[in-house]
Chains A and B, each alone.
Chain A
Amino acid sequence: MSAPSPTQFRPTFPVERIREDFPILHQEVRGKPLVYLDNGATVQKPNAVIDATARYYRHDNANVHRGVHALSERATAAYNAARSTAQRFINADDHREIVFVRGTTEAINLVAQTWGKANVGPGDEIILTELEHHANIVPWQLLCEQTGAKLRVAPIDDRGDVILEVYAELFSERTRLVAVSHVSNALGTINPIRRMIETAHAHGVPVLVDGAQAAPHMRIDVQELDCDFYAFSGHKVYGPTGIGVLYGKAALLDAMPPYQGGGDMVRRVSFEGTDFAPIPYKFEAGTHNIAGAIGLGVALDYVNGIGLESIAAHEHRLLSYATEALADMNGLRIIGTAREKAGLLSFVIEGAHAHDIGTIMDVQGVAIRAGHHCAMPAMQRFGVAATARASFAAYNTLEEVDALVTGITKVREVFRL
Chain B
Amino acid sequence: MMELRELYEELILDHNRNPRNYPRKPDGANHTAHGFNPLCGDEFTVHLHVKDGVVQDVGFEGAGCAISTASASLMTEAVKGKSVEQAESLFANVHKLLTDESEQDTTDPTELLGKLSVLIGVKEFPLRVKCATLAWHTMHAAIKDDEDTVTTE
Footprint of B on A, CB under 8 Å?
Answer: 30, 352-356, 359-360, 362-363, 370-372, 376, 379, 385-386, 410, 414-416
Contacts and interface: CB of A to CB of B under 8 A. Distances in A.
A417 to B, nearest CB: 11
B82 interface: no
A356 B63 contact: no
A359 B39 contact: no
B63 A359 contact: no
B40 A359 contact: no
Contacts of B120: none
B41 A371 contact: yes
B63 A352 contact: no
Interface residues of B, number: 20
A372 B43 CA distance: 13
B41 A363 contact: no
B128 A415 contact: no
Contacts of A362: 125
A363 B4 contact: yes
Nearest to A362: B125
Interface centre among B1, B3, B8, B128 (most CB of A within 10 A): B1
A356 B66 contact: yes
B64 interface: yes
Nearest to B66: A356
Contact of B41 (A356, A359, A386, A414): A386
B13 interface: yes
Given A371-B41, A415-B13, A385 B63 contact: yes
Nearest to A386: B41
Nearest to B3: A363
B47 to A, nearest CB: 21
B67 interface: yes
Interface in B1-26: 1, 3-4, 7-8, 13
B67 A355 contact: yes
A363 B122 CA distance: 13
B33 interface: no
